[in-house]
Amino acid sequence: MSPATHPPELRELIRLLLVDEARSEVRDSAFGEIVEILRPGDLLVVNDAATLPAALRGQVHVDGEAHAIELRLLGPRAHDDGEEDRDRRWRAVVFGAGDWRTDTDDRPPPPLLEPGMLIELFGDVRASVVSRDPASARLVELCFEQGGPALYAQLYAIGRPIQYSHLDRDEQLWSFQTVFAGRPWAAEMPSAGRPLTAAMLAALRRRGIEIARLTHAAGLSATGDAQLDARLPLPERYEIPAETAAAIGRTRARGGRVIAVGTTVVRALESAARAGLTHQGGSGETELIITAQTPRLVVDGLLTGMHGPSESHYRLLRAFASQALLERAWTLALELGYRSHEFGDLALLLPAEPTRDSRLDVRPAAPVWDP
Amino acid sequence: MLDSTHVPLRTAIVTGASRGLGLGIAQSLAVDHGLRVAMVARDVAALEAAVRQVRAAGGDAEAIVADVADKLAIHRIFGIAAATLGDIDVLVNNASSLGPTPLRALLDSACEDFGAVLETNLLAAFRLSKVALGSMVLRDRGVVVNISSDAAVEAYPDWGLYGVSKAALLQLTRIWAAELAGTKVRVLSVDPGEMDTQMHADALPNADRSTLADPNMVGRTIAARIVEAAHEEVPR
């Protein structure tokens, strides 16, 4: 499938493929029709993470020789203390020389970073290497010289949004934001929410469809390292507000469906359910990988970008539709010229059975899942 | 009427916060009402002094050095504030520019100066509000205040650039409020009146300062108005 090479002229001007398992139906529509496709009583849950300028260029010295590198920040580590020191430590993926214009897989590998090594980023920003992942040399933990607001001021001064070579121009950070973005937690835009306009959200509410939010630190979609790509998505932090937990409860009580806007929302909600957080809300970091075999405890439907069988997100889609139906949908989308990636078209996956673990409803405080 | 179920406001962004009314509003929000406030201004030294003043008074404040008229600074301002303080509940668009002083008649005003005044007084407020309001609407809470002036409605000679920008800002406020009717998010315009500020001295150097209001007192009144607006129950 061809990727969308730039944002649509208006954010809502994309196609929506309805993939309805109960009716064994695959149908093409304009995205705006989602207001009519969803039913009064349904709950739409969005990820309100804003996108960070997470791509930073700089250099490291190895054996006296300077090597150009690019860092792609995944997010701060949780264990920091003190206000000024807050968010000093970050997880990041290191790329070799060059930038997003080169295909990620064709970029030269970065030099091997050793703990204690100093990374000099453009704009006089420095970080030291704390540790390197034992299985993937590109995955590192860093410590910046400053934390708190001073660090964020630096990141916004020198960072660029993470981009890939399918784009036809260098985009500004605002192209990678949803209408409702709040705290900048996402390395890459939670893109399924991008086409939603303020007017559509208001129209959905008027139709009796509730809108709720969570914040999930969406990570990278590609690392340039096949071994690391196979581990995606990496652990990501999330936060479920108490109001959202309450909205899920109301939706279940009235027989409505919980529809996730994007795979990050599925990961956050299903992780929260397994951590016993879907009743009062809460936060955590999740390592959950969702596949066809993962029982869905909370999420009854998924609004998602077009992900093909070769992508890590495809496994997650299989929790919402059979392989046969997904193949049918993919074939039709190709025929109709659907576009993939962050500015592309969307699909709404509605499984036949809104599977949910009834234990969630009766034992709020108890752990409901023992992996 | 007060809505007792309302969650208190926790965070704010105030532009033009290094002095005058902006500093007064930021200080009152932080000290009198306990909000964590991101204070935005261009001048590093003045802003840092202002932040120190608010902290010394017991308030929680952070400095964000930026020119709101620079459209590339908008996501930076909001991002730093939201990353540091959490979801933003209050935005005060206070930064504004008179254009060249002494004030000049429209016939003597340059188009470029008009453009620059509109960037600061109108488009910056639009851009920052656009970034902040989406999250407020999603959370169904928040207050945006645009600082107005009687120059928005009276046709004062020599106040053309400023007056037109403030008239447009007032209409922006009104339309935004109309579009968000039915939510709990408030978009307000406040006319602070004539105050003893640097900006006033730049515009009217010969004014009798004893007739001008103290910007800190006006800041307190506006901060109280913001808190009150967040708690007003409006029929949905």
Please give the average per-residue pLDDT across B181-206, as a whole number.
Answer: 95
- pTM summary value: 0.94
| B2 has a pLDDT exceeding 70 | no
How much is the mean pLDDT over chain A? 92
Per-residue pLDDT, averaged over A330-344, amounts to 97
Q: What is the mean pLDDT of residues A207-211?
A: 98
The interface pTM score, or ipTM, of the predicted complex is 0.94
Determine, for residues B137 and A180 on separate chains, whether the beta-carbon distance falls below 8 Å: yes
Residue B64 has pLDDT above 50, yes or no: yes
Kindly state whether B175 is in contact with chain A, defined as any CB-CB distance less than 8 angstroms. no
User: In sequence order, what are the residues at sequence separation of 6 or more whose Cβ sits closer than 8 angstroms to the Cβ of residue B191?
Assistant: B147, B148, B149, B150, B152
How far is residue A304's CA from residue A297's CA, in Å, rounded to a whole number? Answer: 18
Pick from A87, A152, A213: CB nearest B79: A152
User: What percent of chain B lies above the pLDDT cut of 90?
Assistant: 94
Q: How many CB atoms within 10 Å of residue B212?
A: 16
Which of B25, B20, B26, B18 minimizes the C-alpha distance to B43? B18
Q: Tell me the per-residue pLDDT of A5-41, one tens digit each, with 9 for 90 and over.
A: 999 999 999 999 999 999 999 999 999 999 999 999 9
Q: Are A96 and A69 in contact (CB under 8 A)?
A: yes
Nearest Cα of chain A lies from the Cα of B74 at a distance, in angstroms, of 9
In this prediction, residue A356 carries a pLDDT of 62
Whether the pLDDT of residue B235 is over 70: the answer is: no
- Per-residue pLDDT at A334 exceeds 50: yes
**CB within 8 Å: B135 and A149:** no
Contact status, residue A74 vs residue A138, Cβ threshold 8 Å: no
Q: Which chain B residues are closer than 8 Å to A211 by Cβ?
A: 138
* pLDDT tens-digit series, residues B90-103: 999 999 999 999 99
**Per-residue pLDDT, A80:** 54
Q: How far, in whole angstroms, is CA A96 from its chain's centroid? A: 24
